[in-house]
Amino acid sequence: MEQPPILDYRPIQPRARLGARLVRGGMLALAIIAIHVAAILVFNPVWPGVEALGGGAIGTPASPIDASLDNDEKQSQYIPRAAGYFAVFLLSQWFFLMPRGSWRITVANDEPLPKRNAIAAGLIGMLVSIGLLATLMEIPDWWLKLTTEKGLNSTQHYGVVWVVMLIVWATWSIVFYSYWRSLDRYTGMRRVFRWLLAGTIVELVIAAPAHAWIIKDRGGECYCQRGTWTGLAFGVPAALGLFGPGAFLLFMREKKRREGLI
């Protein structure tokens, strides 16, 4: 009886395996560096920082300016706000990577993504959406009218913006959770990651040149109250926050590839 043909298993070449490890290791290193970069940018106003790195989250909905305070009082007020903003950044990273029913980061989970992952993804979606909205509102000079008492150098009020932020956050979280309920963790995370990355790039491509144009056309005095600054202050952390999920997806892809060979 003739034996059926047997397909030879060709192992992965050492060079290809080394290249894959270097890519995954490099992405993991970038994710760790991104966390430190985010910390430097957020806390830059607290210590004698570099002026080119900007004013952190000062003047944004994360830290409104009270014009009645002097500089020392404003800085003291900003420290806990910066710590809270950075803590939310780290917490969203953890929620994005943490699987269902476990406090450990692991790739061995093919169940649908839980609600906390949707909340973390919704946070990034909210930052991108509000950053883009603030940027677009600054162009016709509507942002200052909405968020300040008397324009530049006056006290900021973000009551309406905070309500909108919560609504947008909840909406994105529901959309993401509803979308990936029928998908495994890897597929759902990969698709949402691509959407968030594309949206963040678009938002920053709009916010960065718009901010440069606003500063040149209307002056750089108290630039942190401009809507374009909110666009940058929200868009950059959103971009940095995607490095962690991006590195994790590389490890998940390798796990899926190996499972396909078994």
According to the model, what pLDDT value does residue 186 have? 74
pLDDT in tens, 129-166: 999 999 999 999 999 999 998 888 899 999 999 999 99
According to the model, what pLDDT value does residue 220 have? 78
CA angle 178, 182, 187 (to 5 degrees): 100
DSSP 3-state assignment of 156? Answer: strand
pLDDT in tens, 71-100: 888 888 999 999 999 999 888 887 776 655
- 156 φ, ψ to 5°? -95, 145
Global confidence as pTM: 0.83
**Is position 14 within any domain?**
no
Q: What is the dihedral of CA 45, 46, 48, 52, to 10 degrees?
A: -20
| Residue recorded with tokens 């396909």 | 260
Nearby residues of 108 by Cβ (< 8 Å), 6 or more positions away: 255
**Is position 2 within any domain?**
no
* Partners of 148 in the β-ladder: 156
Confidence of residue 202 (pLDDT cuts 50, 70, 90): very high
* Over residues 211-220, mean pLDDT: 89
According to the model, what pLDDT value does residue 7 have? 47
* Partners of 156 in the β-ladder: 148
Average pLDDT value over all residues in the chain: 82
Confidence of residue 230 (pLDDT cuts 50, 70, 90): very high
pLDDT in tens, 103-125: 555 554 566 667 888 888 899 99
Which residue type does 68 have? S
Helix residue spans in the chain (DSSP H):
14-43, 71-97, 115-138, 143-147, 159-180, 185-218, 227-241, 243-261
**Is position 11 within any domain?**
no
Compute CA 207 distance to the chain's CA centroid, rounded to the nearest angstrom.
15
**Is position 51 within any domain?**
yes
pLDDT in tens, 218-229: 887 888 999 999
**Is position 15 within any domain?**
no
Residue 101 has pLDDT above 60, yes or no: no
202 or 112, greater pLDDT: 202
For residue 140, what is the DSSP state? T
Number of domains in the chain: 1
**Is position 13 within any domain?**
no
**Is position 189 within any domain?**
yes
**Is position 8 within any domain?**
no
Nearby residues of 183 by Cβ (< 8 Å), 6 or more positions away: 112, 113, 191
Domain that holds residue 150: 21-98+106-261
Asked if 248 and 134 count as a contact pair (C-beta separation under 8 A), the reply is no
